[in-house]
Amino acid sequence: MTNRWDGIDEVVAVADAGTFVAAAKRLGSSTSHVSRAVARLEQSLGAQFFHRTTRAVSLTDTGRTLVDQFRRLIAERDEAIAMLDLQGEPQGHLRITCPTALGERFVAPIVRAYVQDYPKLSVDLDLSNRVVELVSEGYDLALRTGTLPDSRLIRTQVATRGIVTCASPAYLAAHGTPETVDDLESHDCIPATLDMWRYRVDGEVRTIRPRGRWRCSNGTAVFDAAIAGMGLCQLPAFYVSRAIADGTLVEVLAEFRPEDDPIWAVYPQRRHLLPKVQRLIEKLRRELASAMAQG
């Protein structure tokens, strides 16, 4: 008798790959096998998962509802198998979420090399500044920065990032160099994602609300605005370290620099022993700090 759940791998593969042909390549099977497996599951459950045309495949409303559930079923199955051999080769599917800038510059290359080392492993890396719900959205691992709220999630520090305030030489020549945190009140600032800038004054954290004529939630755009002389910015060091080294930007208020932000690997407790998660965390701990130091 056919297993009622035969075909969930094929449904997820088609949803992720976009076509039956691409799904078959991903699974290492034939297109006809994938098509039959999906059709059998649709018939078994009395539901249609995909709209099919000669050119495209798209999820139905039912398909969109069920495909995330199917992903979790597959993850739970693969996790149970992996738990039989905790020292085994990383395998299965790994879903990761990471802040955009950190991910683009540093995490993506590390994860890409990790995937190349383990041919039985596939990865979905979501670069977004949205704080996802790891358990309910089916993620295995998140990279997050700063102070984290208490939660049921496990966290381990893999690196730190410095925070730097700086401006272009032209801006400082025209407006003067701030000597104290209070001096920022009379300067044009370029706020980014955070509404408050942090400093360490007399051993304690001091925050100020930056004010200026231009704001942007993208760190690269803020960096470019500072280069253009629009004002002072406060950004993670990896954005500005090279520009400071070559004199394009000048650090200010260096003696009031806040403590470095921790960078955390965060993951659901039930996944913390899986080889695919454990070995990636070890790799991030070994390589992320040095990659960020090089800019």
Q: Which helix (H) or strand (E) holds 89?
A: none
Structure tokens at 99: 């802040």
Pick the residue with more confidence: 107 or 44?
107
Q: Which residues in 110-141 are b (16+ Cβ under 10 Å) and which e?
A: bbeebeeebeebebebebeeeeeebbeebbbb
pLDDT for 86 beyond 80: no
Position 271 pLDDT exceeds 60: no
- pLDDT number for residue 172: 98
Reported pTM: 0.69
Q: Tell me what pLDDT residue 115 has.
A: 95
Across 32-55, average pLDDT: 88
State mean pLDDT over 288-293.
Answer: 91
- Per-residue pLDDT at 198: 95
pLDDT band at 1 (very low <50, low <70, confident <90, very high): very low
Give exposure, 19-40, as e/b (b: 16+ Cβ within 10 Å): ebebbbebbeeeeeebbebbeb
pLDDT at 89: 80
Query: What's the chain's average pLDDT?
Result: 89
Instruction: Report percent pLDDT > 70 for the chain.
Output: 92
Lookup: tokens for 60: 């139905």
Residue 85 has pLDDT above 60, yes or no: no
pLDDT at position 92 is 84
Contact 20, 51 (CB under 8 A): no
Residue 22 pLDDT class (50, 70, 90 cuts): confident
Over the stretch 191-224, which tens digit does the pLDDT of each residue have? 988 789 999 999 999 999 999 999 998 899 999 9
pLDDT of residue 125: 95
Q: What is the pLDDT of residue 188?
A: 96
Residue range 155-188, pLDDT digits in tens = 899 999 999 999 999 999 999 999 999 999 999 9
Looking at residue 79, what is its pLDDT? 66
The DSSP output letter for 215 is -
